[in-house]
Structure 1
Amino acid sequence: MHRSSPSSWHRRSFLRVASAATAGLALTACGGEGAATGGTASEAPATDSADLPAPDAQGTLFVQQASVEYLTGQDRYLAFGVLTTEMSPLGEDRPVQVYLRRIATSPEETAEVVAGPLETTFSPAVDTGQPVYFVRTDLSDEGLFEIVALAGEDFGTAAIQVVDPQDSRVKDPTDQSPVIPGTEAISAPTATVADDRGVFDICTQDPECGMHEMSLDEALQTGRPVALMFATPQFCQTAVCGPSVQTLETIRTEGDWGDTIFIHSEIYAEEPSGTEVAATPVVDAVAAWGLPTEPWFFTIGADGVVVDRLDGPMPREILQAMLEDLTA
């Protein structure tokens, strides 16, 4: 089962890096060659939550998170970058410890620590991207929180929005239902090597990836699992989209994923130019899925139901874990 895309779609501005939630990693445009290698877990000594820097303390590190939102639930991934004040990556040799702390938005709320210390995993840079850290933890409550990252005596914070899945910003434009795990995937055509659907380029990855053999609408009719990536390597304005495609391509070719169908969809129907990149018309599938940013990755079960989703930074370890869950 799957939802069908509307028969027509409106040309609209694609809101990449549309809020503070997505601005964090908007540092460099990126292509994509090379592949991430395995990450390592941080072993920073534990810090008592009572000894954390005050919420209004001036940080000495720049913590970057680039996800639109985080959904409440168990075992959620949080990926982020950490830069020095000179705007260079912190590096694998600096163990990072993480806490999650509520941001008080009313007199009734306090800046309580809701998780931590959390063990971080370091995922190396891919090509022109940058290394990221990630943690996995339960997100029980909605609201504004901050990632508090500690590296020795240095620290930095980044605000994140945690929402109930039903309140997700990613909505089917036809009925405003959220596109979340447990809902039917939206059927929409995507460009393939046999039918480019009039888009200027079916894949801006160099070399072109091998994930354009079948259109999404056709794939959803096969009764096979689907791994779906929305990203534009050449025209991405963050340090994550190009590497996301190349990383998924490497995982696809190196692993055994049974009869899973891998699909990559570009974002723009026309070639972006000048400073009006965000106003360039998007492809049918991006409009049908109601995506407010990019990149996005979805795993879809053989029954056509979304299993999981991820946006922003896409470490190899997380993508691989999502695929393992899909094919288990």
Structure 2
Amino acid sequence: MPRSRAARRLPTLLCALAVPLLLAAGCGSSGSSSSDTPAAQPAPTATAEDFPMATGRTLPDIINGLPKGPVFAPSVSLLTKGTNRIGFALFDTARKQLSGAAVALYIGKTDGSDARGPFVARSESLKVSPQFESKQTATDPDAAHGVYVADVPFPRNGSYAVLAVAKLDGRLVASSPYGMKVGGKAAAVPGPGDKAPVIHTLTPADVAGDLSKIDTRLPPAESLLKDDFADVVGKKPVVLTFATPQLCQSRVCGPVVDVVDEVQAKVGDKVSFIHQEIYRDNDVSKGLRPQLGPYHLQTEPWTFVIDRKGIISTRFEGAFSPASSSGPSRR
């Protein structure tokens, strides 16, 4: 996701997101490649030497003899040729999320050949200051509190098998391969370098002050509802987040909106932060809101960082932490 790279290291995770988001939205270039070098990131969970090397091997070769490990659950659905930021979670058989493990991803063809890796993941916290934590995040035992992220280069479009190898209790274990497709429908969702589709996002004035009609978060994030996207795009930098904290299928919308709300408090009015709900009348049975149509979105959450010229400079699918925005770009 191309953007300006003047980011500075700052002492907190909040600043680590706030500064790159501000720079991405307001500082110009949106044409750099998808393999840009990260400016600042959380440390990897391990080193490549801690995992089997894939050179000259197949995926079955790599995991042969390894005990069956946790379930690999990616939070991204759209991948493109080149380096992709893959956020994912690991779950045990009781569906409990596992955190703090050393983890690496491997990819290969669907028959297991042409294995590549390890691509060592980093562990990123979704925790925010207490005053920015929603009721959904605080009370949902299944809400995500962290995300693993690996930067994985896919050499070509097509179908791939992706698996995770983790070190748990001092031993390596492997997930089952997970099918992921690179290319195809990914081109429909606007990305870095594209002009952001102009949509009207509802504000309190449109619903007679009843924020529950435009925000399922408890309490509503008022700072993310005050601007209509159509009124501010092309005039100032914008961070536009499509998410539904109460109705999210992936269980990460609440934490993501919490993160955005905290960053907005840090950045202030220099950037317009907007939260857009997903379902008509906040009712899943009524289908998607019309605002999602121009962006060709079928999943949630998504966050787009848009510069002052109205050009998308960065996009995130799924969960991202306060440190994620300093990772490599992905179109």
Q: How many residues align?
A: 262
Pick one of 73, 77, 99 that aligns with 2:82.
73
Number of the residue aligned with 2:241: 229
SS at structure 1 position matched to 2:180: strand
Q: Deviations over 1:62-85 (max 9, x none)?
A: 1101322212234x2111111123
> How much has 1:287 moved relative to structure 2?
2.5
Do structure 1's residue 88 and structure 2's residue 88 form an aligned pair?
no
> How much has 1:147 moved relative to structure 2?
2.6
Unmatched runs of 5 consecutive residues or more in structure 1: 1-37, 105-109, 172-177
Q: Deviations over 1:182-241 (max 9, x none)?
A: 22111110011232399961212122211112111111141x221110001011122211
TM-score, length basis structure 2: 0.70
Number of the residue aligned with 2:73: 64
Q: Deviations over 1:231-288 (max 9, x none)?
A: 010111222111111111122223x47722111101123132xxxx2x3143331133
Q: Per residue, is there more helix in 1 or in 2?
A: 2
Number of the residue aligned with 1:139: 154
1:142–1:258 distance in 2 versus 1, CA, 3 Å: farther
CA distance in 2, matches of 1:73, 1:302: 27
1:169–1:117 distance in 2 versus 1, CA, 3 Å: closer
What letter is aligned with 1:134?
V
* Contact 1:199–1:270 under 8 Å retained in 2: no
Pick one of 63, 66, 73 that aligns with 1:53.
63
SS at structure 2 position matched to 1:148: strand
SS at structure 2 position matched to 1:153: strand
Do structure 1's residue 155 and structure 2's residue 174 form an aligned pair?
yes
1:302–1:187 distance in 2 versus 1, CA, 3 Å: same
> How much has 1:160 moved relative to structure 2?
4.7
* Contact 2:212–2:220 under 8 Å retained in 1: no
1:208–1:199 distance in 2 versus 1, CA, 3 Å: closer
* Contact 2:80–2:186 under 8 Å retained in 1: no
RMSD: 2.9
1:264–1:96 distance in 2 versus 1, CA, 3 Å: same
* Contact 1:168–1:179 under 8 Å retained in 2: no
1:287–1:242 distance in 2 versus 1, CA, 3 Å: same
What letter is aligned with 1:229?
T
Number of the residue aligned with 1:42: 45
> How much has 1:162 moved relative to structure 2?
4.1
Task: Summarize the alignment of residues 6-21 of structure 1 with structure 2, pairs less than 5 Å apart.
Answer: none
Number of the residue aligned with 1:191: 202
TM-score, length basis structure 1: 0.70
Task: Summarize the alignment of residues 193-208 of structure 1 with structure 2, pairs less than 5 Å apart.
Answer: 193-196=204-207, 201-208=213-220
1:202–1:83 distance in 2 versus 1, CA, 3 Å: same
Q: Deviations over 1:126-181 (max 9, x none)?
A: 434223211113333111223321123211145353434xx33573xxxxxx5232
* Contact 2:104–2:150 under 8 Å retained in 1: no
Pick one of 238, 244, 249 that aligns with 2:250.
238
Pick one of 213, 231, 236 that aligns with 1:218.
231
CA distance in 1, matches of 2:68, 2:265: 41
Task: Summarize the alignment of residues 280-319 of structure 1 with structure 2, pairs less than 5 Å apart.
Answer: 280-318=286-324
Unmatched runs of 5 consecutive residues or more in structure 2: 1-40, 128-136
Do structure 1's residue 97 and structure 2's residue 104 form an aligned pair?
yes
CA distance in 2, matches of 1:181, 1:157: 32
* Contact 1:240–1:314 under 8 Å retained in 2: no
CA distance in 2, matches of 1:225, 1:46: 42
Do structure 1's residue 111 and structure 2's residue 148 form an aligned pair?
no
Q: Deviations over 1:77-126 (max 9, x none)?
A: 1111111233222221x21122222223xxxxx62123x22221112354
CA distance in 1, matches of 2:69, 2:120: 20
> How much has 1:298 moved relative to structure 2?
0.9
Which sits farther off after the overlay, 57-66 or 260-269?
57-66
Number of the residue aligned with 1:10: none
SS at structure 2 position matched to 1:217: helix
CA distance in 2, matches of 1:160, 1:313: 20
Q: Structure 1 stretches (4+) deviating beyond 4 angstroms? A: 197-200
Number of the residue aligned with 2:37: none
> How much has 1:40 moved relative to structure 2?
4.6
Number of the residue aligned with 2:281: 270
Q: Deviations over 1:2-28 (max 9, x none)?
A: xxxxxxxxxxxxxxxxxxxxxxxxxxx
1:196–1:138 distance in 2 versus 1, CA, 3 Å: farther
CA distance in 1, matches of 2:258, 2:179: 27
* Contact 2:303–2:315 under 8 Å retained in 1: yes
SS at structure 2 position matched to 1:79: strand
CA distance in 2, matches of 1:59, 1:120: 19
SS at structure 1 position matched to 2:230: helix
Number of the residue aligned with 1:181: 192
